[in-house]
Amino acid sequence: MTDTMDIIDQKKEARLKGNHDEWKRLKGVNKARSEVDLELFYGKLADEAESGFQKNNIRPVYRAIKRPRGSTRSSANGSVACVTH
Domain count, the chain: 1
pLDDT greater than 90 at residue 65: no
Mean pLDDT for 50-58 is 90
Query: Residue 26 falls within a domain, yes or no?
Result: yes
Query: Residue 28 falls within a domain, yes or no?
Result: yes
Query: Residue 27 falls within a domain, yes or no?
Result: yes
CA distances from 78 to 60, 71, 72 (A): 26, 11, 8
pLDDT greater than 90 at residue 36: yes
Rg (alpha carbons) of the chain, rounded to whole number:
20
Whole-prediction pTM value? Answer: 0.60
58 is in which domain, residue-wise? 2-68
Angstrom distance (rounded) from CA 15 to CA 11 = 6
| Mean pLDDT, rounded, of the chain | 83
